[in-house]
Structure 1
Amino acid sequence: MHEILRAEGVDLFYGTQKAVSDVNFCLMRGEVAAIMGSSGSGKSSLLYSLAGVLAPKRGTVSLDGIAFSTLTDEELSTLRRERFGFVFQYGELLPELTVEENTALPLRLAGRRRAPAHTAAGEVLGRLGMTEYLHRRTSQLSGGQSQRVAVARALVHEPDVVFADEPTGALDSVNASAVLKEFLRLARDQNTAVVIVTHDASVAAHADTQYRMTDGVLTRQEAA
């Protein structure tokens, strides 16, 4: 498999407090990796460093061999918009937009015209069982439905990597399992790599590779 994302010797600080310590990480195209850890372990800080949102104090993060540190702020913003997708614990959908409009947003921001962007949004929403909700406001959706929209928005532009921060943490166990399976099925169909941060071992069990974060230190878990 082709390597898509790499971190080497990454340290991240908040003031004098070290959140991530000398992390090395490699992600292959189409791979699903789970980073487990308790609250405060540094797993979300690492996720946002890998996504180019937080700049490490030391070390490098690179996509396809291009180090984030060599890019301008504008170039890095474009990279995140065009080649990454994000799924957050509470969806972070825009309440003033419909389901279809929320999903099409990454394509519209990339310059796609409204009609083809909405067609693409409808297709990915259909694969997630959300066709009948296209024109609803997100305030009219259940938690599970909202998170399916968040997944659709993250995948509609077929990114190289999706970063998911506790993507099922706000859902009950039945909805969590269903959304996670649909999310990973669609990502694998697109050959999109996924990095999931979670405290839940049952979520991590769906990944190809599992890591554990403890006090900022990342270790790979060996298969049982």
Structure 2
Amino acid sequence: MNAILRAEGVDLLYGTHQAVSGADFALRSGEVAAVMGSSGSGKSSLLYCLAGVLAPTRGTVAFDGVALSSLNDEELSCLRRERFGFVFQYGELLPELTVEENAALPLRLAGQRKAPAHAAAGEVLGRLGMTELLQRRTSQLSGGQSQRVAVARALVHRPDVVFADEPTGALDSVNATAVLEEFLRLARDQGTAVVIVTHDAAVAEHADSRYTMTDGILN
């Protein structure tokens, strides 16, 4: 099967520091790939290149056969909003919004009306065990609950790829396992590909393919 996301010879420099060096990477639809490495190894920098958040200094990243460098800012923003999803270590939720409003945000930003967007968000949140908390402010949630909302927000618009940067790093082991399993189950049900950056071997064990990042070099 052809890769939906491919990187070839990707370098990323911050001034004179080479964060990523000659990285090659391929991801198929529905595949879960883990990129492991210690803090400062360059794994998050690679993730941001793959997601089009950072432009590589050299090399190419292509999604669905189209080089990200060929897209203008508006096209790239649209791609990230409509076909990509993101889960970060601390959730990055908007505290002034409810659980339901946070999860529905990608659909609302894409122009969907409130009622169907909230219905879709409620369905995904329900599968994550959050039905009773839809109207709660996210500032009132536990860490595990917040991360479930972040997962729902990343998956509600059925993206092609989700980029997850240490998605369970802020959770205790019990919550981390529960959230990760629910996240990957939902992603696989939808056929969504997932790239997980992690330093945790137990998280990487859930992946279909595993890479290791050391001093900017991907193996």
Equivalent position of 2:88 in the other structure:
88
Amino acid at match of 1:21: S
Q: Which runs of 5+ in 2 are unaligned?
A: none
Question: TM-score scaled by structure 2?
Answer: 0.99
Residue by residue over 1:26-78, the C-alpha shift from the partner in whole angstroms, topping out at 9 and shown as x without a partner, is 00000000000000000000000000000001000000100001000110010
Among the aligned pairs, what percent are the same residue? 83
In the TM superposition, residue 2 of structure 1 has moved relative to its aligned partner by 3.9
| Distance in 1 separating the partners of 2:3 and 2:34 | 17
Q: In 2, Cα distance between the equivalents of 1:89 and 1:145?
A: 13
Instruction: For 1:52-131, list aligned pairs within 5 A.
Output: 52-131=52-131
- Whole-Å separation in 1 of the counterparts to 2:126 and 2:27: 29
Aligned counterpart, 1:135: 135
Q: Does 1:199 align with 2:205?
A: no
Equivalences for residues 1-224 of structure 1 within 5 A: 1-219=1-219
Amino acid across the alignment from 1:187: A
Report the CA distance between 1:192 and its aligned residue.
0.1
Matched residues in 2 for 1:168 and 1:3: separation? 26
Q: Distance in 2 between matches of 1:21 and 1:69?
A: 18
Partners of 1:211 and 1:151 lie apart in 2 by 23
**Alpha-carbon displacement from aligned partner over 1:106-149 (angstroms, at most 9, x marks no partner):** 00000000000000000000000000000000011100000000
User: How many residue pairs align between the two structures?
Assistant: 219
CA shift, 1:213, in A, is: 0.1
The secondary structure found in structure 2 opposite 1:41 is coil
Q: Deviations over 1:8-39 (max 9, x none)?
A: 00000001110000000000000000000000
Cα distance in 2, alignment partners of residues 140 and 77 from structure 1: 31
Task: Output the CA distance in 2 between the equivalents of 1:56 and 1:103.
Answer: 30
Unaligned 5+ segments in structure 1 are 220-224
SS at match of 1:194: strand
Distance 1:139 1:22 in 2: 41
- The residue type paired with residue 88 of structure 1 is F
> Aligned AA for 1:153?
R
d(CA) in 2 for partners of 1:51 and 1:33? 14
Q: Distance in 2 between matches of 1:100 and 1:73?
A: 29
SS of alignment partner, residue 104 of structure 2: helix
- SS across alignment from 1:167: coil
Could you say what the CA RMSD is over the residues aligned between the two structures, in angstroms? 0.5
- TM-score, length of structure 1 as denominator length: 0.97
Which SS does the other structure have where 2:206 is aligned?
coil
Report the Cα offset of residue 3 of structure 1.
Answer: 1.7
The residue type equivalent to 2:127 in the other structure is: R
Q: Aligned partners of 2:87, 2:64: CA distance in 1, in Å?
A: 22
Per-residue deviation, residues 189-210 of structure 1 (Å, max 9, x unmatched): 0000000000000000000000
In 1, the alpha carbon distance for the partners of 2:122 and 2:167 equals 22
